[in-house]
Chains A and B, each alone.
Chain A
Amino acid sequence: MTIDQQRRLWIIIIGVSFLSLIIVGRLVAFQLFLEESDFPPGVRDGDGVRVVVQPERGRIYDRNGAVLAGNQQDFQVGVSPSLVTRAEEMASALSPILGQPRHELLAKIRSPRAYELLASRVSPEAAEAIRAFDFGGLQLDPLPRRIYPQGKLMCHTLGYVTLDGQGLAGLEGYYEAVLAGQAASKEMRYSPITPQHEVIARQGSDLYLTIDRTVQHVAEQHLARALQEHRAVSGSIIVMDPQTGALLAMASLPCYSPAHWYTEPERLLGNPIISHQFEPGSIMKLITMAAALDSGIVTPHSTYYDAGIIELGGHRIRNWDYSAPGATDMTTLMARSLNVGAATLAHMMGNETFYHYLDRFYFGRRLGVDIMAEAGGQISWPGSELWTEADLGTASFGQGLAVTPLQMAVSAAALAHNGDLMRPYVVQAIHHEDGSVVERQPDVLSRPITLETAHQVSNMAVVSVRQEVFNAQVEGYTIAGKTGTAQIAEGGYYHPTDTIGAFIGWLPADDPELLIVVKLDRPKSSPWGSQTAAPVFAQLVEELVVLLEIPPDNVRLQADIAAFRGQ
């Protein structure tokens, strides 16, 4: 090799080496040192994919841990036609599962597009069947679905969620922020050598309720039977612990399926117990009597003269049976549910005192129950445009004002339990993803009456049941309660025949563990609450004392004596 040849060879070697170094350097830079921002927009599209991880919605359990609302995964079925190798076979297999004609499916599978949607939502069972075929090119994307394993049980309380998982009513709506959790998203690469950081969403928290599903079930069964027996249009039952305000059952019929709420008539979707307002009728006399006793206007032994009629603000008020019993004591007023007596008490108290007590009992205000869409009731307050002098008299026996069934339950619970007005609640505890638990404590809203007044009214309510409401009595248990028969205001007038029959009762009267409200709308068998709602109360109590292990009075007495002797 000549020197000239050697020189040329060296030039080639150096040139090739230089070019190689440039290429290797660029490769190393691409592989190791380039950041996302170094690429112009759009250059790396399709290189990765934005993965959005949806959190699992929190479950809802009853007080004993039974699932009331849970989750399942439906699936969206799609196909990437370019990846399909057995189009004919796939169409034949999917047709019966998806319920679509074979030729339509085949057309989609052979589409020139990159992706074709075959079914927007199929059940997990259908998805499993499709998965078993192991067809290439098929894509099954999970879609969360809320399920309610107990069916229609406590539908109004649970509420419902949209198909995209947003709570719209009931507990689902009120606790949306807690139940929903928080989605997480991240750009992920399909390359196996790129580190894959897992995308973790904040899961929804679980709710543990004060509701006992068995109590709820029994209440709904009795309510359904009552609607049928008395041919009532609708009805509600509330079961609560008067000492804490915890709600054990909230039954309203007719109900709807929370899983298929979108197919139900809109009128069924509201919660009658917290959203629907009604004129309470004679059960309001409990409050009037409590106000009169607490304000010191009367004592349990006071009497008044009942002439069978009283005129207030130009409005004549008569007793429901048009009777004129003459000299009457307070207990008899309650037992016989005398309108004239209630109006007399309201008149004696005067506007300021009477309405002051209504306010202390939270009438006309929301109680703050933890369920969506609570109504506050309607009261014409003195001085307002709509108020007349006659309202004082009619409000005393539950006409001319509107309350929710829950408001009546809570105010009666104050009479049953020491005069404390407890805030009603449904969620006992929230269990977060990190294991922490937030427990709910009973909350006293106000103390509208004294302990002594509460005991006095409770004793009157016991006598009232014992003397007049035989249908509400349960052998072995002392029950306090009050019936109510309310007229229904429609278009500015009262309906000539239709009524609302109601009964509020609590037991054991001396140390109440249960307070129950039964309300039947427009019963046809009888207009009176004592004939329709009171028997439902008694039948329900007979089952609940067994379920909740509430012993009869004599057993409690013997236990107290044994405990006393043991001290």
Chain B
Amino acid sequence: MSETKETTPKNRRERSIARVRQLIRLTEAQAVLGWAVLLVLAALLGAIYLHQTSRIAATGRHVQRLQAQLKDLQRQNVLLERDIAKAQSLERLQTEALRLGFQRARPDDIEYIIVPNYPLPGETPAPAAPPAVEPIDTIGEALWLAVRDSVIALVRGESS
């Protein structure tokens, strides 16, 4: 009985070894867990990075395609502008006009009409004269006109 309770040096060493072994086992489990966490984090970061990179690459390709399309449209635009300018050349217009039966106008063919007070280029037309206002003879007329104007302004939303 006394043997079991006695702590001999041999027993103490064995107990220490057992504790160390237990500790090592715990540390291995923690290490596995730690490495697992690290791996997951690395994989996550890699996945995010790859995802972003692929998105950027796809967008970049899209931009490049649009730029190519823009260049193509600009090229077509230049061609169209050239064709329009050629179609509007005087030689062609004159040929077409003559073919359609138009003739050159001579001074005798022109009839001028004189429009009184017609504004010349650069002149602003004279403002129209305000409508003639009949004189107000009585207080009653003045009051009636004031009331009428107020109602009209109210209806038009101009009332202050």
**Closest A residue by C-beta to B54:** A193
Cβ–Cβ contact B78 & A193, under 8 A? no
A-side contacts of B117, CB under 8 Å: 563, 566
How many whole Å from B90's CB to the nearest CB in chain A?
Answer: 5
B53 interface contact, C-beta 8 A: yes
Interface residues on A, range: 35 or more
A15 interface contact, C-beta 8 A: no
B-side contacts of A558, CB under 8 Å: 114
B6 interface contact, C-beta 8 A: no
Cβ–Cβ contact A552 & B75, under 8 A? no
Q: Which of B81-89, B128-136, B142-150 forms contacts with chain A?
A: B81-89
Given contacts A71-B78, A476-B107, contact A151 B89 (CB under 8 A): yes
Other A-B contacts than A124-B78, A546-B105, 20 sampled, CB-CB below 8 A, are A66-B85, A67-B81, A70-B82, A70-B85, A73-B75, A124-B75, A142-B75, A147-B82, A149-B85, A151-B89, A193-B53, A193-B57, A196-B63, A214-B90, A217-B90, A542-B106, A542-B107, A545-B107, A546-B107, A563-B116
Contact with A along B49-93 (1 / 0, CB 8 A): 000010011101101100100000001001101100110111100
* Interface members, chain A 111-165 (any B CB < 8 Å): 124, 142, 147, 149-151, 153
* Interface members, chain A 339-394 (any B CB < 8 Å): none
B-side contacts of A444, CB under 8 Å: none
**Closest A residue by C-beta to B63:** A196
Given contacts A70-B81, A71-B78, A193-B53, contact A475 B114 (CB under 8 A): no
A34 interface contact, C-beta 8 A: no
Instruction: Please measure, in the bound complex, the distance between the C-alpha atom of A70 and the C-alpha atom of B87, giving whole angstroms.
Output: 14
Given contacts A149-B85, A546-B110, contact A192 B116 (CB under 8 A): no
A-side contacts of B107, CB under 8 Å: 474-476, 542, 545-546, 552
A-side contacts of B64, CB under 8 Å: 192, 196
Cβ–Cβ contact A67 & B57, under 8 A? no
Of B67, B82, B90, B109, the contact of A150 (CB 8 Å cutoff)? B90
A-side contacts of B67, CB under 8 Å: 198
Is the contact region of chain A dominated by helix, strand, or loop, or is it mixed?
mixed
What are 23 A-B residue pairs whose CB atoms fall within 8 Å in the complex?
A66-B88, A67-B81, A67-B85, A70-B81, A124-B78, A124-B79, A147-B85, A149-B85, A149-B86, A150-B90, A150-B91, A153-B90, A191-B60, A193-B53, A193-B56, A196-B63, A542-B107, A546-B105, A546-B107, A552-B107, A555-B114, A562-B114, A563-B116
B-side contacts of A67, CB under 8 Å: 81, 85, 88
B112 interface contact, C-beta 8 A: yes
A107 interface contact, C-beta 8 A: no
B-side contacts of A66, CB under 8 Å: 85, 88
How many whole Å from A16's CB to the nearest CB in chain B?
Answer: 12
B104 interface contact, C-beta 8 A: yes
How many whole Å from A200's CB to the nearest CB in chain B?
Answer: 12
Instruction: Please measure, in the bound complex, the distance between the C-alpha atom of A217 and the C-alpha atom of B94, giving whole angstroms.
Output: 10
B-side contacts of A149, CB under 8 Å: 82, 85-86, 88-89
Cβ–Cβ contact A192 & B89, under 8 A? no
**Closest B residue by C-beta to A28:** B49
Cβ–Cβ contact A72 & B89, under 8 A? no
Instruction: Please measure, in the bound complex, the distance between the C-alpha atom of A190 and the C-alpha atom of B82, giving whole angstroms.
Output: 33
**Closest A residue by C-beta to B126:** A566
**Which B residues fall within an 8 A CB radius of A?**
53, 56-58, 60-61, 63-64, 67, 75, 78-79, 81-82, 85-86, 88-91, 94, 104-107, 109-110, 112, 114, 116-117
Instruction: Please measure, in the bound complex, the distance between the C-alpha atom of A538 and the C-alpha atom of B106, giving whole angstroms.
Output: 12
How many whole Å from A393's CB to the nearest CB in chain B?
Answer: 42
Instruction: Please measure, in the bound complex, the distance between the C-alpha atom of A543 and the C-alpha atom of B110, giving whole angstroms.
Output: 11
**Closest B residue by C-beta to A140:** B75
Instruction: Please measure, in the bound complex, the distance between the C-alpha atom of A330 and the C-alpha atom of B94, giving whole angstroms.
Output: 46
A213 interface contact, C-beta 8 A: yes
A559 interface contact, C-beta 8 A: yes
Instruction: Please measure, in the bound complex, the distance between the C-alpha atom of A198 and the C-alpha atom of B66, giving whole angstroms.
Output: 12
A551 interface contact, C-beta 8 A: yes
Instruction: Please measure, in the bound complex, the distance between the C-alpha atom of A70 and the C-alpha atom of B78, giving whole angstroms.
Output: 9
B-side contacts of A191, CB under 8 Å: 60
Of A70, A142, A151, the contact of B91 (CB 8 Å cutoff)? A151
Given contacts A192-B57, A566-B116, contact A150 B89 (CB under 8 A): yes
How many whole Å from A559's CB to the nearest CB in chain B?
Answer: 5
**Closest B residue by C-beta to A556:** B112
Q: By CB atoms of chain A within 10 A, which of B63, B82, B88 has the most?
A: B82
**Closest B residue by C-beta to A546:** B105
Of B60, B81, B94, the contact of A192 (CB 8 Å cutoff)? B60
How many whole Å from A410's CB to the nearest CB in chain B?
Answer: 25
Of B81, B82, B114, the contact of A559 (CB 8 Å cutoff)? B114
A-side contacts of B75, CB under 8 Å: 73, 124, 142
How many whole Å from B5's CB to the nearest CB in chain A?
Answer: 32
Instruction: Please measure, in the bound complex, the distance between the C-alpha atom of A271 and the C-alpha atom of B79, giving whole angstroms.
Output: 30
Instruction: Please measure, in the bound complex, the distance between the C-alpha atom of A124 and the C-alpha atom of B61, giving whole angstroms.
Output: 27
Q: By CB atoms of chain B within 10 A, which of A67, A213, A551 has the most?
A: A67
Contact with B along A176-210 (1 / 0, CB 8 A): 00000000000000011110101000000000000
How many whole Å from B106's CB to the nearest CB in chain A?
Answer: 6
How many whole Å from A15's CB to the nearest CB in chain B?
Answer: 15
Instruction: Please measure, in the bound complex, the distance between the C-alpha atom of A150 and the C-alpha atom of B91, giving whole angstroms.
Output: 8
B-side contacts of A474, CB under 8 Å: 107
How many whole Å from A195's CB to the nearest CB in chain B?
Answer: 8
